[in-house]
Structure 1
Amino acid sequence: MQLILAPMEGVIDAVMRDLLTRIGGYNRCVTEFVRVSQTVLPKRVFYRLAPELLGDGKTAAGIPVYVQLLGSDPALMADNAAVAARLGAPGIDLNFGCPAKTVNKSSGGAILLRQPQRIAAICTAVRATVPASIPVTAKIRLGYADDDGFEDVVDAVADSGVSEITIHARTREQGYRPPAYWDRIADAVNRSSIPVIANGELWSPADVDRCAAVTGCDRFMLARGALCRPDLGLAIRARIEALDYPVLQWTDIEALLLEFLTTNAHRYSERHAVNPVKQWLMYLKHHYPQAAALFERVKRIKDPAEMDASLRAPVLAGVA
């Protein structure tokens, strides 16, 4: 079984990748997308979104970080993939699933699901340009407005020579609303010549079990569930391998939040340093009741020092 930490724009960045992979369970990560539009990007752009490239392309825990590219021009995508490869990216991922309106309006992300031939051209160009030793993967959805052309997109990716395809089991129009249509991933598994990674509505080890039973997949990409429960990857792996592991308690989460704040205080202006903490608390509250109470306490805080003090104060006395 393989577990991949998903790219989530503005949420799962290098700081979050570091925290979650140190907790454990993951085989690899994927960066937020590098937008490719008009030119070959300078190295600093890649280093900003994938600072792991300044080391060996891995997190501090030794987990490989694939660089994700988003764009619509095959030659430009290939040229930028070559830059990422030269900088030490252990893999290249191609984004054909982003549902953001601004991205889709500029011919990026999920809008390309309407053009399987364009997807095939991008995948083929990148695969031909990047050294054979570096995997190239692609991430798609079931379609744009509907899933009528889903099989065409799967075939376009699989026939292009890429290594794997990740499928978010919803269309662009369905966004992130449940359910995820895992049966359509099963359709892809049955016709694809390359491994398929399942993505969508994976919140718990039991969800992964059910998804595996429906899809036949043994590779899973975790996104929002990993933010709600930071030890989700480890919990899934422990369940599969029948291992004991130290379940994260609220006191562990408090320590992670303080580390998260301290690290972001060095990355952002004072005004914005507290915002990632609030954002993470909005996810954590789905698994930890203390997070909901803490968010109510800190949601109006703007000063990092005040946020630090509030994170250190007791939350929900009497709740384990």
Structure 2
Amino acid sequence: MKIILAPMEGVVDALMRDMLTRIGGYDLCITEFIRVVDQKLPERVFTRFCPELLTGGKTYAGTPVRIQLLGQDPHWLAENAVRAVELGSPGVDLNFGCPAKTVNKSRGGAVLLKETNQLYQIVKAVRDAVPPQYPVSAKIRLGYDDTSLTLDNAAAIAAAGASMLTVHARTKSDGYRPPAYWPWIAKIKQQVAIPLVANGEIWNATDARLCQQQSDCNDIMLGRGALALPNLAQSIRRDEPAMPWAQVLQLLMHYSEFEMCGDKSQYYCNRIKQWFSYLKLQYPQAAALFSQLRVLRKSSEILAALQQALHLAADDTTG
């Protein structure tokens, strides 16, 4: 079984990848997408999205990090894919699943699921350009408005030479509303021979096993569930119990210290609140603390609230 950390735009950045892979259980990470339009991007763009390029293309824990590209032009995607592997990315992933309106309006992400031939042309151009030792993977949803092209799209991506296909088992129109339609992945598996990765609505080890059973797919990708339960990968792989709340708070403090000192410090308040919106799905304590944090506007205020919560949690465990 392979467990892959999903690319979540504006959420799973290098710091989050570092923390979650240190906890363990992941075989691969995919970066947030790099938008490609009509030029070969400079090195600084790649290292901004993937600073792991400077450390051998791996996180501190040794987990490989694969760059993801998003766009609609086969030539320029191929040019940038070559640059990505030249800079040290252990392969390239292509985003055909992003549901964001701004991305879809500019003919990127999930909207390309309406254009089966374009999917083929993009994957083939990238596969032909990237040296064969580097994998070229893709991520799709089941479709845009419906599933009428699901099998055709998957077959086109496989025929174009993709090394792996991750399937988020919902359409763009489904958004993130449950359920995820895992049996559709089993249908795709009957049509294509390349390795498949199942994605969507995996919140715990029980979900993972059910997903594997219904999708007939051993490999999985974790997204929101990994933020809700930071040791989800190890819970699935090793049957670990949920990380204790006090340990989660220590993780949040570690995240805060690095985020507030980094070049994205202006986003800290929004990012920590966004993380809490997932944590509260698994931890009642997070829901209570989130109601306090959501009205705070200053980083120092949020940090103080986290420190107080950590002290209280420590008292609870020792008392």
Structure 2 length as normaliser, TM-score?
0.95
Amino acid across the alignment from 1:181 = Y
Q: What is the Cα deviation at residue 161 of structure 1?
A: 1.1
TM-superposed CA distance for 1:246, in Å, is 6.5
Instruction: After the TM superposition, list the runs of 4 or more consecutive aligned residues in structure 1 that deviate by more than 6 angstroms.
Output: 315-320
Indicate how the Cα distance of structure 1 residues 301 and 160 shifts in structure 2: closer, same or farther if over 3 A, else same.
Answer: same
For 2:82 and 2:198, the matched residues in 1 are separated by 27
- Residue in 2 aligned with 1:143? 143
Structure 1 residues 50, 208: closer, same or farther in 2, change over 3 A?
same
CA contact (8 A) 1:114 1:144 kept: yes
Question: What SS does the corresponding residue of 1:67 show, helix, strand or coil?
Answer: strand
1:252-281 CA-partner distances (Å, limit 9, x unpaired): 111111111111112246553322111111
Map Cα deviations across residues 32-65 of structure 1 (whole Å, 9 max, x no partner): 0000012111111111111111110011100000
Q: Which structure 2 segments of 5+ residues have no match?
A: none
CA RMSD of aligned residues (A): 1.6
Shift of 1:93: 0.2
Between Structure 1 and Structure 2, how many residues are aligned? 315
* C-alpha contact (below 8 Å) 1:271/1:303 kept by paired residues: no
Aligned mates of 1:270, 1:183 — CA distance in 2:
42
Return the offset for 1:100.
0.7
Cα distance in 2 between the residues matched to 1:270 and 1:76: 32
Question: 2:243 aligned to 226, 231, 248, which one?
Answer: 248
Q: What displacement does 1:297 show?
A: 1.7
Mind listing any 5+ residue stretches in structure 1 that lack a counterpart?
240-244
What is residue 234 of structure 2 aligned with on the other side?
A: 234
Q: Secondary structure at the match of 1:167?
A: strand
| Deviation per residue, 1:41-95 (Å, 9 max, x gap) | 1111111111111110011100000100000000000000001011000120000
Please report the TM-score for the alignment, with normalisation by the length of structure 1: 0.95
Which amino acid is 2:104 matched to? N
Which deviates more from structure 2 when the two are superposed, residues 271-280 or residues 192-201?
Answer: 271-280
Equivalent residue number for residue 242 of structure 1:
none
Structure number having the greater helix percentage: 2
> CA offsets, 1:164-201, max 9 Å, x none?
00001111111111111111111011111101100111
Give the share of equivalent positions with the same residue, in percent.
50
Match of 1:119 in 2: 119
Q: For the structure 1 residues 265 and 187, does the alpha-carbon distance in structure 2 shift closer, same or farther, using more than 3 Å as the test?
A: same
Q: What CA distance in whole angstroms lies between the structure 1 residues aligned with 2:265 and 2:114?
A: 43
Q: Which amino acid aligns with 1:217?
A: C
Question: Which residue of structure 2 lines up, in the alignment, with residue 20 of structure 1?
Answer: 20
Correspondence 1:24-63 to 2 at 5 A: 24-63=24-63
CA 1:192–1:69 in 2, change beyond 3 Å: closer, same or farther?
same
